[in-house]
């Protein structure tokens, strides 16, 4: 039955053409975006999995940065440890030379002292981004190494722990060296702070080496005035004197005077042992802080006691230097080991990130060869569908011939 109201052929052709156009649009979107699954509506399960994996990739990029920072920090510590080992080895050569009686031990001792100072400088400078792993003040540091996802989707972070090594030849430790009558000492008496207002502000620092706070050779007292610092290191002769606190006070006064700070006057009163009186006649407020450094502490603390100026000192130093070299070698080896772990983990994270990216691509990326072939086929189908719809739409015209 033919009808001018219902054209079944046109409806079939129209539905076919709509389906072809829909498939053609999807294929064109895949080619333009490069993704087979670009939104959740394309394939919700695959899209959800890919997004979780993409978030992990971003996380591993941050981990890679963390590992790079850890590598640099450990590399600085390892390099410093190896440098200290080399300096201690040079010191050993000086100490061995001092075993001979027919040498100038005083000059050799000057060389040894210079090497000790260089080691102290290396320890102080061996920091990266503010973290120093060899000065004895850092017990350990964690380097973010991975994100671990379990079967339930729970994520936990894992770290590589870098153990700090103590290669300091002295550290800031508690010692009742600053008397309570001057400034504001800490509860342990190992630090002191005083504020000097401009135009006459005054206060004093009392250095007290009484029982329980006696100085030893190598101990150091540091004072900082504003952004300038001075220090005095106790010698063997100083430690043996009965007025060590006076010697230290005078040494600090002379060092401060040499700074030439405008308006600052430092007076020493021999009638008050170890007392330094500060007066600020300048036009800028000043803050004075003091710190005690215990030479006997630290992993290389025994180094400060090395003195080859005498035969007995040279003999004693020979045993000491062997222990110090072993300490520095162990530290360098420890940093070398953890550096290897970090490098291995960094390589693994890089490989893992590439694998995740490949997996994501396999799930959501468009197969361009297949899409190209499908596009060509759909374009032909679209042309044929358009032609079929045109023919179907012309069918009712033939009914006019029945009424002529």
pTM: 0.66
**Token pair for residue 214?**
């006696």
The shares of helix, strand and coil residues in the chain, as percent rounded to the nearest 5, are 55, 20, 25
User: What is the rounded CA–CA span in Å between residue 50 and residue 27?
Assistant: 20
Altogether, the residues listed in the chain come to a count of: 404
User: What is the rounded CA–CA span in Å between residue 182 and residue 36?
Assistant: 77
Task: For residue 256, list its beta bridge partners.
Answer: none
Task: Name the residue among 386, 310, 338, 350 with its Cα closest to residue 95.
Answer: 310
- Taking phi over 0 as left and psi of -120 to 50 as alpha, with beta for the rest, 164 belongs to beta
Q: For residue 240, with 0-12 CB atoms within 10 Å meaning exposed, 13-18 middle and 19 or more buried, which class applies?
A: exposed
User: What is the rounded CA–CA span in Å between residue 16 and residue 10?
Assistant: 10
Provide the residue-wise pLDDT of the chain in tens; the chain has 404 residues.
Answer: 677 777 888 888 889 889 888 888 888 888 888 888 888 888 889 888 888 888 889 989 999 999 999 999 999 999 999 999 999 999 999 999 999 988 999 999 999 989 988 998 898 899 998 899 998 888 899 999 998 888 887 888 899 999 999 898 776 666 778 876 667 777 767 788 888 999 999 998 888 877 556 788 778 888 889 888 888 888 878 888 888 888 999 999 999 999 999 999 999 887 788 889 999 999 999 999 888 888 777 788 878 778 898 888 899 899 889 999 999 999 999 999 999 999 999 999 999 999 999 998 888 888 888 888 888 988 888 898 888 888 888 877 777 777 77
Structurally, what CATH architecture does the domain formed by 48-171+303-356 represent? Answer: Up-down Bundle (1.20)
Q: Is the dihedral of CA 359, 364, 367, 370 positive or negative?
A: positive
Tell the CATH topology of 184-296: Alpha-Beta Plaits (3.30.70)
**What are the boundaries of each domain within the chain?**
48-171+303-356, 184-296
């Amino acid at each position: 039955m033919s009808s001018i109201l219902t054209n079944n052929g046109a409806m079939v052709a129209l539905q076919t053409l709509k389906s072809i156009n829909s498939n053609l649009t999807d294929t064109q979107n895949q080619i333009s975006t490069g993704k087979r699954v670009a939104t959740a509506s394309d394939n919700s399960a695959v899209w959800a999995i890919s997004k979780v994996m993409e978030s992990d990739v971003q996380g591993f990029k941050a981990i890679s940065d963390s590992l790079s920072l850890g590598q640099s920090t450990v590399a600085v510590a390892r390099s410093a440890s190896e440098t200290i080992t080399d300096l201690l080895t040079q010191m050993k050569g000086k100490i061995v030379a001092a075993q001979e009686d027919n040498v100038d031990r005083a000059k050799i001792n000057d060389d040894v002292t210079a090497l000790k100072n260089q080691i102290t400088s290396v320890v102080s400078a061996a920091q990266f981004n503010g973290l120093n792993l060899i000065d004895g003040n850092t017990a350990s540091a964690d380097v973010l190494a991975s994100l671990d996802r379990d079967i339930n989707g729970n994520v936990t972070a894992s770290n590589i722990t870098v153990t700090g090594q103590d290669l300091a030849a002295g550290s800031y430790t508690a010692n009742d060296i600053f008397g309570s009558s001057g400034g504001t000492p800490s509860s342990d008496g190992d630090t002191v702070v005083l504020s000097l207002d401009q135009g006459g502000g005054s206060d004093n620092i009392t250095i007290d080496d009484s029982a329980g706070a006696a100085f030893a050779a190598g101990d150091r007292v540091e004072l900082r005035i504003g952004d300038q610092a001075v220090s005095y290191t106790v010698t063997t002769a100083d430690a043996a004197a009965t007025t060590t606190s006076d010697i230290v006070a005078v040494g600090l006064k002379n060092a401060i005077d040499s700074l030439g700070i405008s308006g600052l006057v430092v007076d020493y009163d021999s009638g008050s042992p170890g007392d330094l009186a500060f007066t600020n006649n300048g036009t800028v407020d000043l803050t004075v802080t003091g710190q005690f450094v215990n030479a006997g502490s630290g992993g290389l603390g025994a180094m400060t006691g090395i003195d080859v100026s005498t035969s007995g000192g040279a003999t004693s130093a020979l045993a000491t230097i062997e222990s110090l070299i072993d300490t520095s070698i162990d530290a360098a080896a420890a940093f070398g080991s953890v550096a290897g772990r970090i490098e291995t983990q960094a390589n693994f994270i890089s490989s893992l990130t590439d694998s995740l990216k490949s997996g994501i691509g396999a799930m959501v990326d468009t197969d361009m060869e297949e899409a190209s072939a499908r596009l060509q086929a759909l374009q032909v189908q679209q042309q044929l569908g358009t032609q079929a719809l045109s023919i179907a739409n012309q069918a009712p015209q033939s009914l006019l011939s029945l009424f002529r």
